[in-house]
Amino acid sequence: MASKLGVNLTVNGRSHAVSIEPRRSLADVLRDDCGLTGTHLGCEHGVCGACTVLVDGKPVRSCLMFGVQAGGKEIRTVEGLADDDTLHPLQQAFWENHGLQCGFCTPGFLMLAAGALEENPDMSDDEIKDVLSSNLCRCTGYQNIVKAVRIAARELRARSRA
Amino acid sequence: MNWIGRSLPRLEDPSLLRGGGSYVADRIGKAAAVRFVRSPLARGTIAAIEIPPCATVFTGRDLSDVKPIRPILHRPDYVPIGQPVLPVDRVTFCGQAVAVVVAEGPALAEDIADQVFVDIDATDAIVDLDAAVAPGAVPVHPEAPSNVLVEGGIKTGGLDNVFAEAAEIVTLELRSHRQSAAPMEGRAGLAEYDAASGRVTLTASVQMPHMLRTGIADTLGIPESDLRVIAPDVGGGFGQKMSLFPEYIVLVWLARKLKRSVAWIEDRRENFTASAHGRDQAFSLRGAFSKDGRLLGLEADLRSNVGAYSCYPVTCGVEPLMALAELPGPYDLAEYGVRSRGVTTNTCMMAPYRGVSRPMLTFSMERLMEVAARRLGIDPVDIRRRNLISTFPHRSPTGLVYDEGSYQQAMEAAVNAINLPAFRARQAALRKRGRHLGVGLSVFSERTGYGTPAYAARGMEIVPGYEIVDCTMDPSGNVVLRIGSSPHGQGLKTSLAQLVSDELGIEPQRIRIVSGDTDTTPYGWGTFASRSMVIAGGASKLAAGQVAGKLKTIAAHLMEAGPDDITLENGFARVSNSNRAMEIGALARAAYHQSHKFKGLSPGLHESAVYDPGGTFSNACHVAIVEVDIETGGVKVERFLVVEDAGVLINPMIVDGQIAGGVAQGIANALFEEMIYDESGNLLTASFADYLPPTSAEIPEIEITHMETVSPESVTKAKGVGEGGAIGAPAAVVNAIVDALSPFGIELFELPATPQRIREQLRKAGVSVHG
């Protein structure tokens, strides 16, 4: 067994000091060492995107990144998206527009959309659909996911103007 | 207030949206990790299994007291095949588990599994469906010398006559290639040993928890009371998670053997190679048509590749027998001759996948109608008009009774919505500019919500079908509904809460649904076959209705009125034509705490009901508009329209979600997804880089409208809707491609219609394409 390395991760604003094997993926570290099981693993080869988290604001496949690479970086997961009792506009829009069924891919889609909208709040409807093609969903047929993200994008733009 | 018919946001969602979902992998804690060592070869004799020193590894020899999985159909043509939980002497498909490793953590378990050497003397594998039934083919199992595990057939008396008199006979060879349901969460199980009781709790990502308990108890030879099965949040199933898999039996065996908790989370490669597949089917059809396009008779030879074993509990009869019974679909057919076979090969087991045979049989019938229409010079819509069933109840040549539907009306509505003349004009204009658009139609029936009679007719030893629901109102007037059904993403809890709300006059938020736990729910069959809204919904309505009846009796007594004068709504029991009312919570409290007052009523509010319906047919018409790039063979679905009739919609938003998700899987079936084995039986498509579910870029907005035919066959007036999207879409898309390429006279009879297959046809037609 490989020796472990000590790493400090900042996840959703909280500091986690973990001792991990260098071969462990960021997804495994988040789930097993930080106890944040909202990040899901659907393929572990970087295609499905269920494990998408934000690393320094950018959407990242956490199954393709080693935990030790995340030392000193700001990580955000689905658990950090809501403001306590108030759902994030993306979560609210997914809820109201039936953007999820089994819910397994949902955290990945939420974080993908959150990162993309933070980078470009003015994405066109086509750009949104294009970005969302990064991840796989097997239940919804996507249209309600696309719709929810478009609605949340409008809501976020309205808030930033307010 | 009426809750039925409202698009209530789902009660399930807030925790899922916050990352609070609880799937198996989220619950494993400190359990030891389990890793299966799998056969790298499709067929051979196990010469030796070499285990690294000091490792905890078990093989089939260690599990020799565990009985094989051996599902039974009581039919003379059925050959029962036992599937060993871990094989001792021979391997039968690539990916079959042959040994199991237990270690502290999944990475270490994988390291050890890599060091287990399985020495197999390889022999040639039987992979292809038609090769398996060719004369002289080597048997996959000695019990089945012909490789046919199940065979059925019928022939009506007048079939030969109608073929002799037919104006046109259309002969088609159709092929559907193998698919995986590919749920986003793979299979997973956590078996926890309780030292005090000796019981094991298996938490697993499954659709049929009660059935799993029965199956595991039977193979291990233990009473069911020694085992509890929990289906927590389940990340999609689509049929793949119905079956009893060897891995779950091994997990429970390990927990009992090692007296500790063990967990197995399968990886994607395991899900592709060793879970279950479907849709590997070849159909030969002959249709006899009159001059005016009436389908007079149908002759069919149907072959389904069922893989290496028979799935438990529904057996390998599920695809071939469904195909046999339901091939005529929505068409009024008098004469029918069919032979349907389930064929075993050295490939991963077939199990139900959303639609089960019906995507292929709808594809086949809809291609048949199109080809016949062209040959006879009849408009494709007209030929369907002349053949769709329109009087009810309709009895099919196989004895199925169709309750009332809107087959004709749904098609007319769809054709109107698409504005066919306008499309034809646009199509012609774009063709002049070298763009190839096409429109395709698919009309189908979806048999849903069928109870024990349908399964008994197949000769199943285990006959699923009914559902039991326990409904309890507590003294505060809130309700717990315990169901044997086991939803996994369908939003059933929300829909049931709406249904029960209308019975009891309380808000859906006051109703808690308990499912997926054999210790706390009545025995039931689970969620599959478009059945839960009809059957669990029916039992829920009946049980809640019984509680409502009791509440009304109590209210009548306390308010000095007749029970028939009481209505339950908005949290109150009201006496009609008066201002007398009592809160339902107060009545509930009285039912428990003042029970001595109500002579003839049992104390409390706890009722149970069973529902076991004969079944009801939903119907729909799908229309696809596609554009084909004749240079690349690529297809873009520009528009997709659904006119669906599923009776009364309990939650329209959820119904639309089911349809849209099903259509996406159907488009994938039409264009993208294919499990490919090489001739040695190695799976070449064992990752999402090779097996291609569509993304948001490939799926258009699905336009859905509803019709509402109320069926007496469903107490909730709802028909099932889970599979229709997947059933109808492949035919509509491929018919649209053929329409787009009609200037070249190209036909397609194979699913999926990949760019390679389309280009092959274009090349054959002499259309200039590169390569």
Binned at pLDDT 50, 70 and 90, residue B522 comes out as: very high
What CATH number has the domain bearing residue A99? 1.10.150.120
Q: How far apart are CA B415 and CA B693, in angstroms?
A: 29
Q: Which domain holds residue B573?
A: 466-611
Query: Do A138 and B665 make contact, defined as CB atoms within 8 angstroms?
Result: yes
From the DSSP assignment, how many helices (H) and strands (E) are in chain B?
19, 29
CA A138 to chain centre: 18
Question: What is the number of structural domains in chain B?
Answer: 3
pLDDT tens-digit readout, B377-436: 999 999 999 999 999 999 999 999 999 999 999 999 999 999 999 999 999 999 999 999
pLDDT at B771 over 80: no
Kindly report whether the global pTM for this prediction surpasses the value 0.80: yes
Residues 488-517 of chain B whose Cβ lies under 8 A from any Cβ of chain A: 488-491
Buried b (16+ CB within 10 A) or exposed e, B158-173: ebeebbeebeebbebe
The per-residue pLDDT for B103 is 98
- Whether chain B has a CB inside 8 Å of the CB on A125: the answer is no
Query: Do A87 and B14 make contact, defined as CB atoms within 8 angstroms?
Result: yes
Kindly report whether the peptide bond that precedes residue B87 is cis, defined as omega within 30 degrees of 0. no
Residue B351 lies in a domain: no
Residues B551 and B622 grouped into a single domain = no
A114 Ramachandran zone, left/alpha/beta (phi>0; psi -120 to 50): alpha
Strand partners, A52: A61
Rounded to 5 degrees, φ, ψ at A55 are -115, 115
Contact assessment for residue B278 and residue B723, using Cβ atoms and an 8 Å cutoff: no
Residues A71 and A125 grouped into a single domain = no
The per-residue pLDDT for B190 is 98
Which H or E run contains B377?
none
Residues 257-276 of chain B whose Cβ lies under 8 A from any Cβ of chain A: 267-268
Residues B693 and B571 grouped into a single domain = no
Binned at pLDDT 50, 70 and 90, residue B770 comes out as: low
Once rounded to an integer, what is the mean pLDDT over residues B582-597? 98
Residues A107 and A155 grouped into a single domain = yes
Query: Do B18 and A95 make contact, defined as CB atoms within 8 angstroms?
Result: no
- Whether chain B has a CB inside 8 Å of the CB on A114: the answer is no
Residues 18-47 of chain B whose Cβ lies under 8 A from any Cβ of chain A: 18-21, 23, 25-26
Residue B70 burial (CB < 10 Å; 0-12/13-18/19+)? middle
- Percent of chain B predicted with pLDDT > 90: 98
B688 vs A87, A98, A136: nearest CB: A136
pLDDT at B164 over 70: yes
Strand partners, B469: B483, B609
Binned at pLDDT 50, 70 and 90, residue B458 comes out as: confident
Q: How far apart are CA B342 and CA B149, in angstroms?
A: 6
The 3-state secondary structure of B23-74 reads CHHHCCCCCEEEEEEECCCCCEEEEEEECCCCCEEEECCCCCCCCCECCCEC
Q: How far apart are CA A34 and CA B88, in angstroms?
A: 41
What is the number of other CB atoms lying within 10 angstroms of the CB of residue A84? 5
Residues A130 and A99 grouped into a single domain = yes
What CATH number has the domain bearing residue B114? 3.90.1170.50
pLDDT at B47 over 70: yes
Question: What are the residue ranges in chain A where pLDDT is below 70?
Answer: 1-2
pLDDT tens-digit readout, B259-279: 999 999 999 999 999 999 999
Compute the radius of gyration of chain B from its Cα atoms. 27
Q: How far apart are CA B544 and CA B609, in angstroms?
A: 9
Residues B245 and B98 grouped into a single domain = yes
Binned at pLDDT 50, 70 and 90, residue B116 comes out as: very high
pLDDT tens-digit readout, B334-346: 999 999 999 999 9
What CATH number has the domain bearing residue A59? 3.10.20.30
B182 vs A79, A134, A138: nearest CB: A138
pLDDT tens-digit readout, B280-321: 999 999 999 999 999 999 999 999 999 999 999 999 999 999
**Mean pLDDT, chain B, integer:** 97
B696 vs A40, A95, A142: nearest CB: A142
pLDDT at B580 over 70: yes
The per-residue pLDDT for B143 is 96
Residues B599 and B640 grouped into a single domain = no
Give the CA angle between residues B211, B205, B18 to the nearest 5°: 140
Nearest residue to B653 via CA among A89, A160, A129, A144? A144
Residues B41 and B100 grouped into a single domain = yes
pLDDT at B333 over 90: yes
Query: Do A79 and B18 make contact, defined as CB atoms within 8 angstroms?
Result: yes
What CATH number has the domain bearing residue B702? 3.30.365.10
pLDDT at B49 over 70: yes
- Whether chain A has a CB inside 8 Å of the CB on B234: the answer is yes
- Percent of chain B predicted with pLDDT > 70: 99
Query: Do A138 and B661 make contact, defined as CB atoms within 8 angstroms?
Result: yes
Chain A partners of B660 at a C-beta cutoff of 8 Å? 140-141, 143-144
Once rounded to an integer, what is the mean pLDDT over residues B65-83? 97
Residues 214-233 of chain B whose Cβ lies under 8 A from any Cβ of chain A: 233
Residues B621 and B678 grouped into a single domain = yes
